Amino acid sequence: MTGRKLIMNFEVTPTSHLLADYRARGGYATLERVLREMRPEQVTKEVVASGILGHGGAAFPAGRKWGVIKLNDGQPHYLCANADEGEPGTFKDRWILENAPHLLLESMLISAYALQVRNAFVYIRGEFDLPYRRLAAAVEEAYAAGWFGQGILGTDFSCDIVVYRGAGSYVCGEASALITSIEGKKGYPRNRPPRLTVRGLYQRPTVINNVETLANVTTIVAQGGEAFRKVGTAKSPGTQLVSISGHVQRPGVYEVEYGTPLAKFIYEECGGVLGGGKLKCIVPGGISTKVLTAAEIETVTYDHASLTAAGSGVGSGGMVVIAEGTCMVRLLQILLRFYHHESCGQCTPCREGMGWMHRIIDRIVAGDGRPEDIDQLIRISNANDGTTICGMGDAAGYATVGIIAKYRDEFEYFIEHKRSKLDGRLEVAAGVVA
């Protein structure tokens, strides 16, 4: 085990997604207590005290985001759960939506109470089928049981929820593009300032949190912010749901306490590389974080400070294990094809840069690369760093620079010999998958 569990202390059974089961486990008791005994500010205080960082990728302190919302400022506030889990390699929110949708709903109600939100939204990824059906069913159950609607539990707190399905755009997972999409417009990210907590959905103060971040709120409020801080490290309190995939023996969703040694998690908990192969590198948190080589992860612990110091990040918790023998040139080609396909095309550097990088890497893989192409990729990546409206341009740049910096020899070899340095050596899958 990799330490204490906060969300996954919730045992998954065939009925765990149903209200009756959730109630039997003590579900909605926290909400009841909040509505009866706590003032909204007290809830926010607990969340601030917990020090929880956003679990969507940017690791922004959720308490600080909530703190921007001014209660009683005479205008509606909105709360939105970001369930548009589109970062490649990430499928942790899906676990919550499929297995514990009521945990999310209860957390959202508590959050809505704290932020004086009358209308809450869940923006769920369009490709999610089972998660959507489970969540929609849970919302119906919750309405029928009176957990949503007018005067919840006889108090004067009212809250409604809308589940909004996305249409498959990666960029719509970015908070401002997400709300633009909810508004019924093309999912373009917005310029900051103003921040969304000042002017967000329908031009009103809006809090958008990742599903996992919100799912933690019930625990935080139930235990108290200070108790929550006892899990994890000082700078990264709590746990992270990690979805691990790729060339790994036991892929799946794990809850990892911050501070756990990364090597221990990968080699012991997840069983190491598939088929007993050798580890080449990992993508620690969604493909937009820089890769870490096998040597680098030996000293890294799984928390924000340590991963940032290693030049990468916790990101969205979507870990991908890459075995020795994988061609990094082709890996980058796949990544860049994805970024090219998903660039929304609003602002110049990303719109033009993603396609440009994709065409260059395609050319390299087709055997028409030139030595200067490698630096060109780095140059385009850097020109995207901090120049775009949302973070997608930067993300593609990090991924590219990260891979090239560590595996430049493979690129040089590919360009010179017009074929991969690692042809035919990826044998991890043989005989093991079954």
Partner 1 sequence: MIEFFINGQPVQAEDNQTVMQAAKANGFFIPYFCWHPQLSVPGNCRICMVEVTNEGQAEGTGWLEIACNMPISKGMRVLTDSDKVKKRRKETLQFITLNHPVDCGICDKAGECTLQDYHYEYNGSPSVSRDVKVHATKHYPLSDRIVLDNERCIMCTRCVRFTREVSKSNSLGVQSRGDHSLIRPVEDGSFETDPYSDNVIDICPVGALLSRPFLHKARVWYLEPTASVCPGCERGCNVKLWHRKTEWKLKALDPQQNARIDRVTPLENDAVNGPWICNKGRDLAQVFERARAEQAMLKGEAVELQAAIVIAREMIKAARRPVALVSNWGSNEELAAFYGALGPRFACHVKRDWQPAPGERLEDDLLIKPDKNPNSAAALALFPALPADPRTAFPPDTDLVLVWGEGFSFAQLPPKARIIYLNSWLQPENGHADVFLPVSVQTERSGHYTNFQGAVSAFEACFAKKAGVADAETLFGAMGAAS
353 touches partner 1 (CB under 8 A): yes
CB of 286 to partner 1, least distance (A): 20
Nearest to partner 1 of 139, 344 (CB atom): 344
Binding region for partner 1 (CB under 8 A) out of 22-30, 54-62, 265-273, 358-366: 358-366
Site for partner 1 in 112-171 (CB under 8 A): 169
Nearest to partner 1 of 251, 353 (CB atom): 353
Nearest to partner 1 of 10, 339 (CB atom): 339
SS (H, E, C) the chain: CCCCCCCCCCCCCCCCCCHHHHHHCCCCHHHHHHHHHCCHHHHHHHHHHHCCECCCCCCCEHHHHHHCCCCCCCCCEEEEEEECCCCCCCCHHHHHHHHCHHHHHHHHHHHHHHHCEEEEEEEECCCCCHHHHHHHHHHHHHHHCCCCECCHHHCCCCEEEEEEECCCCCHHHCHHHHHHHHCCCCCCCCCCCCCCCCCCHHHCCEEEEEHHHHHHHHHHHHHCHHHHHCCECCCCECEEEEEEEECECCCEEEEEECCEEHHHHHHHHCCCEHHHCCEEEEECCCCCCCCEEHHHHCCCEECHHHHHHCCCCCCCCEEEEEECCCCHHHHHHHHHHHHHHHCCCCCHHHHHHHHHHHHHHHHHHCCCCCCHHHHHHHHHHHHCCCCCCCCHHHHHHHHHHHHHHHHHHHHHHHHHHCCCCCCCCCCCCCCCCC
CB of 164 to partner 1, least distance (A): 19
Peptide bond into 193 cis (omega under 30): yes
389 touches partner 1 (CB under 8 A): yes
CB of 393 to partner 1, least distance (A): 10
User: Residues 383, 401, 412, 432: which binds partner 1 (CB under 8 A)?
Assistant: 383
Binding region for partner 1 (CB under 8 A) out of 79-87, 117-125, 288-296, 345-353: 345-353
Bridge partner list, 279: 323
Binding region for partner 1 (CB under 8 A) out of 72-80, 126-134, 231-239, 346-354: 346-354
Nearest to partner 1 of 254, 411 (CB atom): 411
Site for partner 1 in 187-206 (CB under 8 A): 191, 193
User: Residues 136, 348, 412, 421: which binds partner 1 (CB under 8 A)?
Assistant: 348
Site for partner 1 in 408-427 (CB under 8 A): none
346 touches partner 1 (CB under 8 A): yes
Nearest to partner 1 of 292, 361 (CB atom): 361
CB of 385 to partner 1, least distance (A): 10
Nearest to partner 1 of 50, 346 (CB atom): 346
Pairing of strands 260-261, 279-283: unpaired
Binding region for partner 1 (CB under 8 A) out of 51-59, 142-150, 336-344, 416-424: 336-344
User: Residues 33, 70, 230, 370: which binds partner 1 (CB under 8 A)?
Assistant: 370
User: Residues 351, 378, 401, 421: which binds partner 1 (CB under 8 A)?
Assistant: 351
349 touches partner 1 (CB under 8 A): yes
376 touches partner 1 (CB under 8 A): yes
- What does the binding site for partner 1 look like in residue numbers (CB under 8 A)? 169, 186, 191, 193, 340-349, 351-356, 359-360, 363, 370, 376, 383, 386-389
